[in-house]
Structure 1
Amino acid sequence: MKRISGIGVDEHGRCSHYDSEYDVVANQCYECRTYYACYHCHDEMEEHSFKAWPVSKDSQVKIILCGVCSVEMNYDQYKQSGSCPNCGHQFNSKCANHEDIYFC
């Protein structure tokens, strides 16, 4: 099972910054390749700022983690339905507000 780093992270990857029922997605920093509950946690715990992953339609790199079932997803799988392709847990639609932080 992959580990989700962050501040006050619960068993589903929710942190002290984002803790709604739907905040179960962890993103991997391009620089350190570590899954974090959010960019705030990353920036408070690391000596570098969160670096966005370059994504393209054909990228199969697994860079997103479901905190409920621990399945890793590529960008297209994550964006496809707004929920985990493995367990079906719905993701927070407001994450789209931070897309430019996590993906480029």
Structure 2
Amino acid sequence: MVPEDVEVKGVDVDSKTRCRHYHSERDIIALKFKCCNTYYPCHLCHEEEAGHEPVRWTRDERDTKAVLCGGCGNELTILQYMNCQSVCPHCQSAFNPGCRNHYHLYFEG
């Protein structure tokens, strides 16, 4: 569950960060976009709602907390997320392994 003091913007976002675009049982992460310091469930939500182009996190910023688990509300660093093998290290909730295919939209190689 998303903590009350954390806002996740997007289209039809539920309490576990699922949105209109990605809403399977395992689509329970939100990503903080560097450009606006705001959490969105996906790149499509950012595109529809933010009103500006996204900026990707650099390799040097992988220790930044920028991934929110919709299962427990803990923030993961980018590196923790990339190395967690699609399981939250705090609550063991399963993340969608297909999100890996979108890393290039959020994180520089």
TM-score by length of 2: 0.88
Which one has the bigger strand percentage? 2
Match of 1:7 among 8, 11, 23: 11
1:19 aligned to 2:19?
Answer: no
Matches within 5 A, 1:31-42: 31-42=35-46
Give the C-alpha shift of residue 50 in structure 1: 2.1
Q: For 1:44-71, what per-residue CA distance to the aligned partner results, in whole angstroms no more than 9, with x for missing partners?
A: 0111022211134x84210111011110
1:80 aligned to 2:83?
Answer: yes
CA distance in structure 1 between the aligned counterparts of 2:88 and 2:7, rounded to whole angstroms: 17
CA distance in structure 2 between the aligned counterparts of 1:9 and 1:55, rounded to whole angstroms: 29
Which structure 1 residue ranges, 5 or more long, are not aligned?
none
Q: How many residues align?
A: 103
Alignment-derived partner of residue 103 in structure 1: 107
Alignment root-mean-square deviation, CA: 1.3
Aligned residues with identical type, % of pairs: 38
